[in-house]
């Protein structure tokens, strides 16, 4: 009889395999990645990896779920937003801090497996299950941005002239487009910093921010 494996051991093994898969996806993208690559990077046996995951698609879906839990955890995001507003004094300061955090993620996009996620989703856009996943991710991202704006309204930092959800959609669409372009071109080529500064000034009057320095 083979020894009983604890759930903790199984979870640890799965995380190790997912970490190996993330490294492979960063280096090769989704379509070029193989299970053989993942086995090699993981340092485990072929059977040890296949015990948990049988395809690169399964690995990608698991990584996407893991990323969603990290990026869209409601309690964690609320704590992050509270810290952001506690460390700023004006609506403009809060907007700048929020946008600067987004800029860092865009600049580092090539060092993440996000390009592989986009590749995976774009090459399977006719798959209804994957389409539902995209819709879910969009709703979560939109909610996270809307929460930032709503907290600013509640604190008296923002006085929007349009609905916060419509403004959040503008921000999200702009950032998504910039992120996608950043996969192919460098931040210097597309002027990431300058474009994000432009977005700040587009959004500024929509949020009713009248000056850079006056607390709201």
| Tally of structural domains, the chain | 2
pLDDT of residue 2 exceeding 70, the answer is: no
What whole-number percentage of the chain has pLDDT above 90?
79
Kindly state whether residues 48 and 80 are assigned to the same domain.
Answer: no
CA nearest neighbour of 99 among 215, 199, 207: 199
> What residues have CB less than 8 Å from 92, skipping those under 6 apart?
204, 209, 211, 212, 213
Kindly state whether residues 94 and 182 are assigned to the same domain.
Answer: yes
Kindly state whether residues 200 and 100 are assigned to the same domain.
Answer: yes
Specify the pTM: 0.85
Tens of pLDDT, residue by residue over 76-85, are 899 999 999 9
pLDDT at 133: 87
Q: Provide the phi-psi class of 5: left if phi over 0, else alpha when psi is between -120 and 50, else beta.
A: beta
Task: Render the burial of 98-114: b for 16+ CB within 10 Å, e for the rest.
Answer: bbeebbeebeebeeebb
Kindly state whether residues 128 and 179 are assigned to the same domain.
Answer: yes
DSSP three-state, residue 124? coil
- pLDDT bracket for residue 4 (50, 70, 90): low
Kindly state whether residues 50 and 146 are assigned to the same domain.
Answer: no
Sign of the C-alpha dihedral, residues 118, 176, 17, 24?
Answer: positive
Q: Quote the mean pLDDT of the chain.
A: 92
Q: Which two tokens stand for residue 213?
A: 């320095």
Kindly state whether residues 38 and 80 are assigned to the same domain.
Answer: no
Kindly state whether residues 121 and 150 are assigned to the same domain.
Answer: yes
Kindly state whether residues 47 and 84 are assigned to the same domain.
Answer: no
Kindly state whether residues 99 and 37 are assigned to the same domain.
Answer: no
Does the residue 214 lie in any domain? no
- The domain spanning residue 181 has which CATH number? 1.10.357.10
pLDDT of residue 98 exceeding 70, the answer is: yes
CA nearest neighbour of 168 among 147, 146, 153, 152: 146
pLDDT at 180: 94
CA dist., res. 128 & res. 152, Å (int): 36
Let me know: does 123 contact 31? Beta carbons within 8 Å: yes
pLDDT at 191: 94
Does the residue 65 lie in any domain? no
Q: What is the DSSP letter of 212?
A: S
pLDDT of residue 149 exceeding 80, the answer is: yes
pLDDT of residue 3 exceeding 60, the answer is: no
- The domain spanning residue 32 has which CATH number? 1.10.10.60
Kindly state whether residues 34 and 83 are assigned to the same domain.
Answer: no
Let me know: does 199 contact 99? Beta carbons within 8 Å: yes
Q: Roughly what angle, to the nearest 10 degrees, separates helices 114-122 and 128-154?
A: 130
- pLDDT bracket for residue 214 (50, 70, 90): very low
CA dist., res. 99 & res. 111, Å (int): 20
Tens of pLDDT, residue by residue over 197-213, are 999 999 999 999 986 54
Kindly state whether residues 128 and 22 are assigned to the same domain.
Answer: no
Kindly state whether residues 107 and 164 are assigned to the same domain.
Answer: yes
Q: By residue range, what is the domain housing residue 24?
A: 7-57
- pLDDT bracket for residue 5 (50, 70, 90): low
């Amino acid at each position: 009889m083979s020894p009983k494996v604890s759930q903790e051991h199984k979870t640890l093994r799965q995380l190790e395999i997912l970490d190996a898969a993330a490294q492979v996806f960063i280096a090769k993208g989704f379509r070029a990645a193989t299970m053989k690559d993942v086995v090699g990077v993981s340092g485990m046996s072929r059977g040890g990896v296949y015990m948990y995951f049988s395809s690169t698609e399964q690995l990608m879906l698991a990584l996407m779920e893991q990323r969603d839990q990290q990026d869209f955890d409601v309690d964690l995001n609320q704590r992050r937003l509270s810290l952001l507003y506690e460390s700023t004094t004006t609506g403009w300061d809060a907007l700048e801090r929020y946008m600067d955090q987004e800029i860092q993620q865009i600049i580092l996009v090539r060092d993440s497996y996000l390009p592989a996620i986009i590749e995976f989703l774009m090459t399977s856009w006719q798959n209804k299950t994957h389409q539902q996943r995209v819709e879910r991710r969009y709703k979560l991202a939109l909610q996270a941005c809307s929460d930032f704006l709503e907290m600013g309204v509640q604190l008296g930092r923002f006085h929007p002239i349009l609905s916060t959800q419509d403004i959040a959609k503008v921000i999200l669409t702009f950032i998504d487009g910039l992120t996608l372009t950043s996969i192919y071109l460098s931040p210097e080529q597309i002027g990431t910093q300058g474009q994000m500064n432009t977005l700040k000034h587009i959004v500024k009057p929509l949020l009713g921010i009248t000056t850079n320095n006056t607390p709201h």
